[in-house]
Each structure stands twice: as C-alpha cells, then as structure tokens.
Amino acid sequence: MVAREMTIDPEIQYFLDEMKAGWAKHPSFGTLSFPEQRAVSEQVRARWAEGGPVMAETRELHFDAGAGELRIRIYRPEGVGTAAPALVYLHGGGFTLFSIDTHDRLMREYAEAGGFVVIGVDYPLSPEHKYPVALDRIEALILWLKDHGADWGVDPARLAMGGDSAGANLSFATALRLRARGEGCLIRAILSNYGYFSTEVSDEAEARFGGPGSIMDRAEARSYYANYLADWGRQSRDPLVCPMLADMTGMPPVFLVIPECDLLAEQSVAMGALLREQAVETEAKIYAGATHSFLEAMSVAQIARNAIDDGAQFVSRRLT
C-alpha cells in the first residue's frame, strides 16, 4: 500500500472523537442484542444525517419486487424531471447495522451533487436474515426497475448502483447476478465506497489500522461476515459473498473510493487491480487521512465533501 506514515485528517479525527463520545453514552455493544445495537447505532449517527440539501421530493414506501419486502426511499433533487437517471444506493453496516435513516444525508448529497434520483434501500439485515436473502431482494428490485422504473420517474436505461462497505459488496454481487442471467447491461456503473470484498484482512492492515480504539479491527470485520453467512466453510468461497473471488469480465465501469487509513483499504486496492486485469473500466482514488465511514463526516470534513462530489460526478458521467 502506501509507504509513508499516515496521519488521520484533523476534521475526520474530530468526527471520530465525537462518534466515540456518542458511543460512550450507551452500554457496550457486546452486552446488547442485535435490535438494541441497531437502535443505539441510529441514535449515535442521527446527528450526522441532519442538515444538507433539501429535495424537491422525497418518497418512502414499503415495496415487494417479488422476493420479499424492502423499505425504499426515493430522493429527487430540484431540476430533475421524469425519466431521470438513478443511483440505487445500499447503506453499509457490515450486513448487520444501519439503515436509510443513518445514510439519509449522504444519499441527499449524492442526489444534489449529481443531478440524479437516488433510490435508498433498506435491505434485510443479518444475522436474522442470512445470505442470500438481502441479495435476492436487491436483485429483484433492479429487475423490477427494468420494466417499471417509469412508475417512479426513473429511466431504466440509466441505472447505477453504489454503496459503502457491505453496501459496496452487495452492489458488486447484484451486478454479478444480473450478468449471469444476461441482464448485465442494466447497471451502467458501480460506485464503491470503502468496499468490503473478502473475509481476509491481512496482518499488516490489522497492525496499522486495527487494534484497540480503531474505528474497526479484524475481529469486528470478521464478525460481520459471520453474521451474514449460514455456512462459513462453504459460503466464504462464494464470489457473490466475497467479490474478490469473482470473474469481473464484462462488469460495468467502477469508481473505488479508498480511505488511506482504513482496515479495508487493501481490499479496494486489490479490487482495482483485479478489475483492470479483466479489462473493466476502473477509476480509483485514495483519500489521504481518511478512515472507514469518513463520508458520514460530510458536515464537518472537506475531504468527505470532496469524495462525495467525486462519486456523484462519476455516476453522472456514466448515466448521461
């Protein structure tokens, strides 16, 4: 990776310190049930989802595209009419936590900066819903949009997918599923924010970015995959679970947002190399001093705002 000594951006450090103070007001995660963990996560992150752009229209619905219900939130910025390009965005949280509420501002920022509709998806969380439940429902949504996107004021010929961490994983997995059924052309681009693509985290990454006090260490990262999988021994080798194991031939263009000071940065760097080896049009940018989840610091950190604008412009170019 990068040889020089890495220092966390001061504005990102402020965000991390404030997050840590928020977590300190609640019991340790290890003492909480999964529903309780999610409730605490929503409370701690609520502050960071406030403010930001006002949409011309925000519509929320519970919707079943044929594989089970999803909560959907559709963001339409000013100046965007019907038959609009759209980014389907999948929040992070290790397949276990977070929601379209924790990521509400981030999705509004993308809609405003890129001039496209954003469709936020609350997919079923683990461990209550194991692989491939979430993937099945997300794939069904994209296939529904192919035939019915106009019902939501969306052009089905101009769809992108994106997400952060586990959401990036699910974006790749959905595109791989669609390619396998001959529908790969449905997704015109993938926006991958600090993606989580493999169960493997190197000793070097753990030594540099994990350990006590880090935003995420190797044990926590692996625990999320353990929640997601029903059969670790078999499913951890499935390319739809670990996209680093996939044949990427014919995948849509990808933009990889890579925080320099992130336990999972090595996975995005490796993914970029894999994509280029298999002739996938790939853009990647390393954000110096940024950490995992740094986009959530958009209200206080210029580097987060820059990365959001970079991602929005990538999507906008691909959907023109």
As annotated, the active-site residues are: 165, 262, 292
Alpha helices in 230-301 (DSSP H): 232-235, 265-277
Distance of CA 143 to the CA centre of its chain: 20
Please list, residue by residue across 79-117, b when 16 or more beta carbons sit within 10 angstroms of its beta carbon and e when fewer do. ebeeebbbbbbbbbbbbbbbbbbbbbbbbbbbbbbbbbb
Give the pair of three-digit tokens for residue 195: 């993606």
Q: Which residue, among 11, 15, 73, has the nearest Cα to 45 in the 3D structure?
A: 15
Taking each helix axis from N to C end, the angle separating 166-180 and 133-148, rounded to the nearest 10 degrees, works out to: 60
Strand 69-76 versus strand 57-64 pairing type: antiparallel
User: What is the helix (H) or strand (E) element at residue 74, kind and residue range?
Assistant: strand 69-76
In 128-197, beta strands by DSSP E: 154-164, 190-193
